[in-house]
């Protein structure tokens, strides 16, 4: 790599990092940050350590990165949690650089790292307090380690490293279960594929042995989270696999039998879940919810590369880049013609395809749920560019044509990424906050309509009382008073009470003094419930609720004690 090329790449990386830091330097307002990635660590800090919160299902998820977020929350610098999350993107870029450099050299490796970091999905994750970048890093480390081990199967340390990283991925997010399953199957398969021309039958036992070793070490690393959930709920994968572990799971009491607000919330969640309708499958969801035809739905594994929109489930809640599909396909064609392929290309491509297909078959597609395909696809995209450049250079007497075509393809990749980054800057609008024109509370209030009601509740609610949050999308982080943000709490109480006074008395008995509610969504629920329950709720609202604030669709109400006759 020439000095000029090094300088250009260094400038590009520095500018990108500074851009991300600027976009990330605003208060957290993304949904998952406010529901659990910051909310649960905040409760742990306030409680003096990691403890159970039965009313928050997310608190039972694997939380390796959430534990790291305790530090910035405890120090009062929650924005720094975004920088921690972004650090995993940078670490993944390092993995991609080192992996590509083995085959193509430093220039192509530097390009591949930049291709990863600037991808719209990765940019969006880099400025939010999620855990997906940690999942991507650990899964990528596992996948690349498997690829290296398959080249040198005598070096068992690469297999052990792959298993440890897979276990850390499992400890980061349950979505890693799909990656773990795929790697557990692909590892012995590609081991046998390598020795297919030697003595494949003699290697079958070794393939099983290495596969078992990978699974055992991965589960061992993951086991602390499994043990915690089993000890608390009887289900090591809680709240997943409820039917599988029904016999061992803790039998929840009826909501009527609970006096503690957290225990009542968990019982109410379980009761309402039992009553709820079974979720629609991915195909029915696309047909009934998104109004798509079956042929169009079946194209989702391809559409995810061309369609994409943040915060829109119909368009996969994120954005990739079409070149991540087109250039790997070009590599596939050129590899057959010129014999430039490697086994690791087949491994990476197989992993990406199977991941997309499995998620497509299991649930309604979201790009974050297949985010671990991005690093292997970036590697294949870089290899596709290199293959095109090589073929053009070999067929042309001058390298100018090869460089021109390759340059145009590189531009075609980066232009959509740059346009997305510019649009995201306008959406986040960090400059007023960073320059001090807008303070923390004002910024949050401009992005989270429930913030005004939550702020007033924080001022008014006594320290020994609780707030009931209804239809807040589980966003609870900005409560500084004790709050239970569970819709099922009110539903259960309303259905079991005999009158409006009964609803109020039961809520007061559980320790609630105030309610923060999205009134529009609450009215939708009220219109869908039975007439008797609706009548009791209306009586409760008319006779026992006092409105303290209504702003932007959200209200704060005080539950009044019963007036003596």
Following DSSP, what letter does each residue of 216-251 receive, concatenated? HHHHHHHHHHHHHHHHHHS-TTTTS-TTTTTTTS--
Is residue 162 a part of any domain in this protein?
Answer: no
Given a cut of 80, is residue 411 above it in pLDDT?
yes
pLDDT at 559: 92
Rounded distance between C-alpha atoms, residue 87 and residue 136, angstroms: 12
pLDDT digit string, tens, across residues 55-64: 888 889 999 9
Angle at 181 between CA 179 and CA 184, to 5 degrees: 105
Query: Which pLDDT tens digit goes with each residue over 104-160?
Result: 999 999 999 999 999 999 999 999 999 999 999 999 999 999 999 998 878 889 999
The answer to whether 85 and 65 are in contact (CB under 8 A) is yes
Strand partners, 515: 468, 557
Q: For residue 490, give the DSSP letter.
A: H
pLDDT of residue 277: 60
Q: Give the three-class secondary structure for 40.
A: helix
Expressed in angstroms, the distance from the first to the final Cα of the chain is 88
Do the beta carbons of residue 53 and residue 262 sit within 8 Å?
yes
Residue 331 within a domain: no
Q: What is the pTM of this model?
A: 0.92
- Dihedral of alpha carbons 145, 146, 147, 153, sign: positive
Is the residue at 553 inside a domain?
yes
Q: Which of 531, 511, 527, 507 is nearest to 519 (CA)?
A: 527
Give the DSSP letter of residue 363: S
512 DSSP β-pair partners: 466
pLDDT in tens, 386-404: 988 888 887 776 677 888 8
Q: Dihedral of CA 424/473/80/87: which sign?
A: negative
- Average of per-residue pLDDT across 449-478: 93
Look at residue 412 in the predicted model and tell me its pLDDT. Answer: 95
Residue 467 falls within a domain, yes or no? Answer: yes
- Partners of 559 in the beta sheet? 545
β-bridge pairing 512-518 and 554-559: antiparallel
Q: Are 505 and 498 in contact (CB under 8 A)?
A: no
Kindly state the helix (H) or strand (E) to which residue 15 belongs, with its residue range.
Answer: helix 3-24
Q: How many domains does the chain have?
A: 1
Q: Token digits for 160? A: 């052990």
* 8 A C-beta contact, residue 128 and residue 79: no
CA distances from residue 76 to 30, 46, 72, 80, 480 in whole angstroms, order as listed: 18, 12, 6, 9, 13
Mean pLDDT to the nearest integer, 79-104: 96
Distance CA 354, CA 175 (A): 14
C-alpha distances (whole Å) from 364 to each of 229, 276, 348 are 27, 19, 24
**121/171 Cα distance (integer angstroms):** 22
* Residue 105 Rama label (left phi>0; alpha psi -120 to 50; beta): left
* C-alpha Rg value of the chain to the nearest Å: 26
Host domain of residue 469:
448-559
- The C-alpha atoms of residue 74 and residue 437 are separated, in whole angstroms, by 26
Who contacts 443 (Cβ-Cβ below 8 Å, separation ≥6)? 26, 27, 29, 432, 433
Tell whether 554 is covered by a domain.
yes
Strand 545-551 with 554-559, pairing: antiparallel
As a whole number of angstroms, the distance between CA 388 and CA 395 comes to 11
For residue 87 the two structure tokens come to 């650090």
Express each pLDDT in 302-315 by its tens digit.
999 999 999 899 99
The distance of Cα 158 from the centroid of its chain, to the nearest Å, equals 27
Tell which residue, 119, 186, 200, has the closest CA to residue 379: 119
| pLDDT exceeds cutoff 90 at 187 | yes
**Is the distance from CB of 129 to CB of 330 less than 8 angstroms?**
no
Structure confidence by residue, pLDDT tens digits, 10-19: 999 999 999 9
Residue 187: CB partners within 8 Å, gap ≥ 6?
Answer: 146, 150, 159, 162, 210, 211, 214
In this prediction, residue 420 carries a pLDDT of 96
For the stretch 323-372, pLDDT in tens is 999 999 998 888 766 556 678 899 999 999 999 999 999 988 999 999 99
Looking at residue 469, its pLDDT comes to 94
If pLDDT is split at 50, 70 and 90, which confidence band does 251 have? low
**Is 118 inside any structural domain?**
no
Within its chain, how far is the Cα of 450 from the centroid? 23
What's the Cα-to-Cα distance from 28 to each of 288, 327, 468, rounded to whole Å? Answer: 33, 36, 22
pLDDT recorded at residue 513 = 92
Crossing angle of helices 374-395 and 343-362, in 10° steps, is 140
User: Quick check: is 470 in a domain?
Assistant: yes
Instruction: Name the more confident of 227 and 192.
Output: 227
Mean pLDDT, the chain, rounded, equals 89
Segment 422-441 shows an average pLDDT of: 94
Contacts made by residues 258-263, CB under 8 angstroms, sequence distance 24+: 259/509, 259/510, 260/510, 261/55, 261/466, 261/484, 261/489, 261/510, 261/511, 261/512, 262/53, 262/54, 262/55, 262/484, 263/54
Domain-located, residue 322: no
Calculate mean pLDDT across residues 78-106. Answer: 95
């Amino acid at each position: 790599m020439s000095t000029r090329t090094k300088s250009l790449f260094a400038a590009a990386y520095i500018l990108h990092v500074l851009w991300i830091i600027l976009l990330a330097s605003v208060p957290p307002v993304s949904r998952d940050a406010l529901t659990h990635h910051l909310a649960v660590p905040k409760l742990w800090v306030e409680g003096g350590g990691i403890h159970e919160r039965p009313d928050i299902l997310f608190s039972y998820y694997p939380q390796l990165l959430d534990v790291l977020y305790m530090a910035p929350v405890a120090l009062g610098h929650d924005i720094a949690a975004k920088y921690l999350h972004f650090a995993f993107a940078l670490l993944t870029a390092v993995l991609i650089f080192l992996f590509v450099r083995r085959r193509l050299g430093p220039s192509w490796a530097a390009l591949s790292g930049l291709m990863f970091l600037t991808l719209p999905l990765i940019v969006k994750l880099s400025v939010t307090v999620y855990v997906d970048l940690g999942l991507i890093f650990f899964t990528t480390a596992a996948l690349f380690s498997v690829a290296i081990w398959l080249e040198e199967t005598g070096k068992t340390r690469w297999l052990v490293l792959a298993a440890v990283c897979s276990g850390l991925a499992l400890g980061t997010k349950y979505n890693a279960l799909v990656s773990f399953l795929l790697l557990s199957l692909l590892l012995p398969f590609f081991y046998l594929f390598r020795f297919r021309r030697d003595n494949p039958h003699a290697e079958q036992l070794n393939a099983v042995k290495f596969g078992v070793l990978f699974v055992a070490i991965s589960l061992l690393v993951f086991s602390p989270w499994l043990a915690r959930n089993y000890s608390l709920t009887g289900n090591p994968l809680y709240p997943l696999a409820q039917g599988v572990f029904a016999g061992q799971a803790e039998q929840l009491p009826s909501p009527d039998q609970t006096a503690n607000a957290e225990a009542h919330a968990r019982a109410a969640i379980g009761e309402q879940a039992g009553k709820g309708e079974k979720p629609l499958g991915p195909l029915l969801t696309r047909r009934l919810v998104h109004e798509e035809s079956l042929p169009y739905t079946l194209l989702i594994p391809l559409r995810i590369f061309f369609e994409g929109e943040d915060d829109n489930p119909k368009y996969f809640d994120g954005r990739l880049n079409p070149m991540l599909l087109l250039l790997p396909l070009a590599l596939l064609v050129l590899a057959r013609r010129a014999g430039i392929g490697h086994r690791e290309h087949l491994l990476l491509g197989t992993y990406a395809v199977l991941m997309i297909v499995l998620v497509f078959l299991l649930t309604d597609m979201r790009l974050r749920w297949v985010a671990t395909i991005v690093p292997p696809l970036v590697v294949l995209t870089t290899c596709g560019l290199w293959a095109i450049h090589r073929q053009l250079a070999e067929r042309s007497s001058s390298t100018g044509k090869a460089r021109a075509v390759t340059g145009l393809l590189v531009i075609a990749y980066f232009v959509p990424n740059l346009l997305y980054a510019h649009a995201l800057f306008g959406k986040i609008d960090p400059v007023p906050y960073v320059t001090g024109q807008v303070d923390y509370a004002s910024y949050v209030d401009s992005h989270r309509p429930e913030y005004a009601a939550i702020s007033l509740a924080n001022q008014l609610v006594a320290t020994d009382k609780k707030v009931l949050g209804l239809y807040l999308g589980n966003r609870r982080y900005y409560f500084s008073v004790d709050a239970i943000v569970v819709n099922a709490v009110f539903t259960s109480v309303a259905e079991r009470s005999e009158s409006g006074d009964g609803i109020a008395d039961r809520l007061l008995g559980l320790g609630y003094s105030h309610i923060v509610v999205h009134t529009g969504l609450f009215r939708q629920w009220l219109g869908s419930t039975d007439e008797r329950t609706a009548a009791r709720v209306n009586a409760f609202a008319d006779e026992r609720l006092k409105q303290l604030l209504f702003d932007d669709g959200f209200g704060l109400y005080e539950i009044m004690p019963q007036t003596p006759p």
